[in-house]
Amino acid sequence: MKFEEVIHSRRSIRNFKDKKVDWRDVIECIDTMRYAPMAGNVFSPRIFVVDDKEKIKRLAEASQQAFVGEVNLVVVVCSDKKRMTNSFEKEGEKYLHQQAGAAMENFILALTERGLATCWIGYFHEEEIRRELKLPEIFQVEALFPIGYSSEAKGETRDAKGKVDLNGVLYFNKYDNKKMKNPKSIKV
């Protein structure tokens, strides 16, 4: 699949087939996280692969989203706060979330390319997840990813329906400037 096709076909899936996912395929997708941009080349994400059905059930409860419990694998991504604050002090907290987001995007695009499906879960009770995974205090939970095979019918590409119009969010040089200067009109 071409990169643009991967981006356009990626969707948040909440209905999964009753088909087991091979954890080795997921590990290959997790590996793509290492190639995301990292401030100072300090890799702060920590990745947990959960295949224990009881733990998955409790993660579903912690996220208050029942469909999370329908899969046989959930990936939980955390950030190591200490690594970033040791390297960048207060600014490290900002970088922490930026690079976690970049790494997680690589991951979900790799899943899509391999025909796997997920939904980025950002709402959850962090303390419940911490307790379930026995996380050290320095780890901050970023997101959960239930992984499976979509049982939803393949739809149109993302840009075909319900996505924001680029012209509504794009500015040039300052707020409310919606036009780029024609290079021929710029005086040198």
Phi, psi of 78, deg, nearest 5: -120, 170
Specify whether the CB–CB gap between 109 and 10 falls below 8 A.
Answer: yes
The pLDDT, as a whole number, for residue 161 is 60
- Burial level of 112, CB count in 10 A (0-12/13-18/19+)? buried
Q: b/e per residue, 58-69, with b = 16+ CB within 10 A?
A: bbbbbbebebbb
Instruction: Provide the token pair at 77.
Output: 């991504």
Does the structure show a pLDDT above 50 at 150? yes
More confident residue, 168 or 2: 2
Closest CA to 131 of 121, 139, 142: 139
pLDDT confidence bin for 157, thresholds 50/70/90 = very low
C-alpha span between 109 and 111 (Å, rounded): 5
Specify whether the CB–CB gap between 113 and 1 falls below 8 A.
Answer: yes
- The structural domains of the chain, with segments of one domain joined by +, span 3-153
Alpha-helical (H) ranges within 66-187 are 81-88, 91-113, 126-133
Does the structure show a pLDDT above 50 at 167? yes
pLDDT confidence bin for 186, thresholds 50/70/90 = low
**In this structure, CATH architecture of domain 3-153:** 3-Layer(aba) Sandwich (3.40)
**pLDDT of 117-143, one tens digit each?**
999 999 999 999 999 999 999 999 999
